[in-house]
Amino acid sequence: MKIEQKIEPDLQKPLIIAAMQDMGDVGSIVVDFINKGLDTYPFREISSSLPGYVIDNGGFIELPEETWEYRYAKDTIVFGGGAGQPQTNEELNTLCQDVIDIAKKYSARFIYTVGGFHTNRDFGKEPKTFVTTTSASLADRVRKLGVDTTPEQSIITGFNGLILGFAKQNNIEGIGLYGELNDPKVPQYRSAKSVIKTLEKLTYQKFGNTTELDMMADAVEDKVRTRGSLDI
């Protein structure tokens, strides 16, 4: 992987929010929203050197540009977003370790990650966010704040789960927030909104006005309904 350090930000003990595109694009929607809300500035960039596919433009191909940014604002580092996740376990582990290295460099004590939680529950326009943590004691602290923890044992794949394992191995506290969704193939703006509101509650911060996410959700749902009626 290619790593480019653009500048050295003046940060001490920031909170870190790290997530990539996943089910329903929840991770990338949340990361993009926070970057916009906090007006973050890029300071480090990582690019993949092992593409897992090519783009056929109708007679000629191009290699995809898989790039992920570290951005910062006051007391906060935001990592990830992008259009996909690493295509190999080697690159996935390298990215997770790099986030840990950055956390140690700036003495961060907490890493948050976000993503989707696939469910069959009919939640209407009010999806819940479920949280898992790097320790039982931290889970108890979260529950005391009135936040729901994940209801059952499961396996969390990809960056948005594995980064918590790397945090735990390095004695850094971590919390994963996962918003309910029914259709992983459609952008889930309401799930992202639920995650953002829960993240604000846990961090005692405000990341921006989520009205735009409601509007985006309405637009997506209208498009899905129209497509469904046309298919009948």
CATH number, domain with residue 52: 3.40.50.10900
Tokens representing residue 167 in the block: 């945090």
Does residue 44 sit within a domain?
Answer: yes
Structure token pair of residue 205: 């911060």
Domain contains 174:
yes
- Give whole-number Cα distances, 2 to 98, 109, 130, in Å: 12, 26, 34
106 in a domain, yes or no?
yes
What confidence score (pLDDT) does residue 82 get?
75
Q: Is residue 186 part of a domain?
A: yes
- Distances, alpha carbon 218 to alpha carbons 11, 89, 188, 189, 214, in Å: 38, 36, 10, 9, 6
| 134 touches 174 (CB < 8 A) | yes
Identify whether 132 is part of a domain.
yes
Domain containing 127 equals: 2-227
pLDDT at 52: 65
Query: In this structure, are residues 17 and 176 in contact, taking their beta carbons and an 8 Å threshold?
Result: no
| Structural domain total, the chain | 1
Determine the Cα–Cα distance for residues 231 and 209; give it in Å rounded to an integer: 35
pLDDT at 155 (0 to 100): 84
Instruction: Give residue for tokens 């499961």.
Output: 154
Q: What are the CA-CA distances from residue 66 to residues 15, 19, 21, 81, 124 (Å)?
A: 25, 14, 12, 11, 34
Distance CA 67, CA 8 (A): 19
Position 194 in a domain: yes
Is 232 within the bounds of a domain?
no
pTM of the model: 0.90
pLDDT for position 83: 73
Q: What is the pLDDT of residue 47?
A: 87
Q: Within the chain, which residues score under 50 in pLDDT?
A: 229-232
| Residue position matching structure tokens 């840990």 | 100
Looking at residue 228, what is its pLDDT? 62
220 in any annotated domain? yes
